[in-house]
Amino acid sequence: MTDFDKAMKDLLSEADEDFIGDAIDETGFYKSAWGSLSGKGSGMRVMAWGAIMAFAAIMIISLWQMFMADNIRSQILWATFAILGNSAQIAMKLWFNMQLNRRALSHEIRRLQLAVMAKS
């Protein structure tokens, strides 16, 4: 273990070590997701959720139309739209979760920088 690692271990409190050791709490995820919809850069995240809802509607409407279609060609067409809507929705959710991870990492790096500066 290097001197830097020892210094970082000394900076971490027991609460920090417990947080690092535990699995991610689901309530923390939802709190973080709601918190990301306000503040800096929130416009893109709000638009992402709007797109997620729009793609969900496209998928549901396409599935309904697929079951109501009267020939195979129409069923395949509507099923294709449903798959595309579902894939787009998944892509938007992945983007949103990557933004949450980026935001959380930025906060942790800033917190660590402040802790290192305070000990120096």
Quickly state the pLDDT bin for 16 (edges 50, 70, 90).
Answer: low
| In the chain, where the domains are located | 3-119
Quickly state the pLDDT bin for 19 (edges 50, 70, 90).
Answer: low
Query: Please, where are the H alpha helices in 1-120?
Result: 3-11, 14-21, 26-35, 42-68, 72-119
Which two three-digit tokens encode residue 8? Answer: 């970082």
pTM of the model: 0.69
Compute CA distances 100 → 45, 48, 80, whole Å: 9, 12, 30
pLDDT at 110 over 50: yes
Q: Residue 37: helix, strand or coil by DSSP?
A: coil
Each residue of 55-84: pLDDT tens digit?
999 999 999 999 999 999 999 999 999 999
Each residue of 24-46: pLDDT tens digit?
455 577 788 888 888 888 889 99
Q: CB–CB of 99/45 below 8 Å?
A: yes
